[in-house]
Amino acid sequence: MIVPLRDAIRDLVRDGDTVALEGFTHLIPHAAGHEVARQGKRELTLVRMTPDVVYDQLIGMGCARKLLFSWGGNPGVGSLHRLRDAVEHGWPCALEIEEHSHAGMAAAYAAGAANLPFGVLRGYRGDLSAHTRVETVTCPFTGEELAAVPALRPDVAVVHAQQADLRGNVQLWGILGVQKEAVLAASRTIVTVEEVVNELQPRSGAIVLPSWVIDAVSLAPGGAHPSYAHGYYDRDNDFYVAWDEISRDRDRFRAWMQRHVLDTADITEYHASLAARVATA
């Protein structure tokens, strides 16, 4: 149940899969994303409401052929330059996009978790409906016309959480995002955690994911960096600002990925490489 992250990614993420690494600014599974890049997974359809730095990295490394998303920026900073380069110039490879609104994508995940074929909402006024997969359905009771979005059913969901117990039950708290829906909508699930404890202590407002809806739990302390884990460490806002510069230039981006991701074996070495960079700066 609790396995090395390298093994979890190797066994559960396949080339061509639809993969959702979820996290709404909090608990973003960066360590898992880095392992996907290290293993050179290809042709992935990446799904995430708010693809930020970790998807910028995977797209820039050529792991993705498609991105399904609802807001693709560097929160509080600006654009994602690798995403832009892929969309605007096809570098390093062409990237198909399927764009939704937050409300639409949240409804699509909830429909997937509920094993329904589509999600329904009032929305999609404006031009996006002409460029994405959304249809109109009529309420059979009131006649009201509503937007329908196809359910999201990822092959793999990957989320980060604060704790797992020894049997692989997982607890996460703070900003919850859409992780529960992503896990329950997916065929396979990987959870990385800050720590493994003997027994989970109930937390106010927490979600518990029982071990039997999870395929692999991997220990990855600091595995959300530069995102954060509520109660463990804060968001590294300086890193998000720095990423704007690092990611602007293709060569600088590749050099950064080489040094801090491809040339490191795991999350411990990743953090050591960042610390060494600060020490030599």
Partner 1 sequence: MSTNGDGGFSADEMMAVEAARRVADGTVCFVGIGLPSLAANLARRTHAPDCVLVYESGTIGAKPTKLPLSIGDGELADTADTVVSVPEMFAYWLQGNRIDVGFLGAAQIDRHGNLNSTVIGDYDHPKVRLPGGGGAPEIATGVRDVFVMLRQTPRSFVERLDFTTSVGDRVRVVVTDLGILEPHDGELTLVGVHPGVDVEDVRAATGWDLRIADDVRITDPPSDVELSALRTLQPKGRA
Footprint on this chain of partner 1 (rule: CB under 8 A): 24-26, 49-50, 69-73, 75-77, 79-80, 83-84, 87-88, 99, 101-104, 106-107, 109-110, 121-128, 131, 174-178, 180-181, 205, 228, 230, 234-235, 237, 240
**Residue 72 or 168: which CB sits closer to partner 1?**
72
**Residue 4 or 75: which CB sits closer to partner 1?**
75
Min CB(212)–partner 1 separation in Å: 21
Say which residues have a Cβ less than 8 Å from residue 37's Cβ, sequence separation at least 6: 57, 58, 61, 63, 257, 261, 262
Min CB(110)–partner 1 separation in Å: 5
Helix then strand then coil, % of the chain, to nearest 5: 35, 25, 40
Closest alpha carbon to 208 in 225, 223, 186, 193: 193
CA atoms of 275 and 281, how far apart (whole Å):
10
**Residue 2 or 241: which CB sits closer to partner 1?**
241
**Residue 179 or 192: which CB sits closer to partner 1?**
179
Min CB(113)–partner 1 separation in Å: 9
**Residue 40 or 78: which CB sits closer to partner 1?**
78
Min CB(125)–partner 1 separation in Å: 5
Radius of gyration of the chain (CA): 19
Q: Which helix (H) or strand (E) holds 138?
A: strand 135-138
Query: How far, CA to CA in Å, does 158 sit from each of 31, 33, 65, 130, 250?
Result: 10, 9, 18, 30, 27
Min CB(224)–partner 1 separation in Å: 11
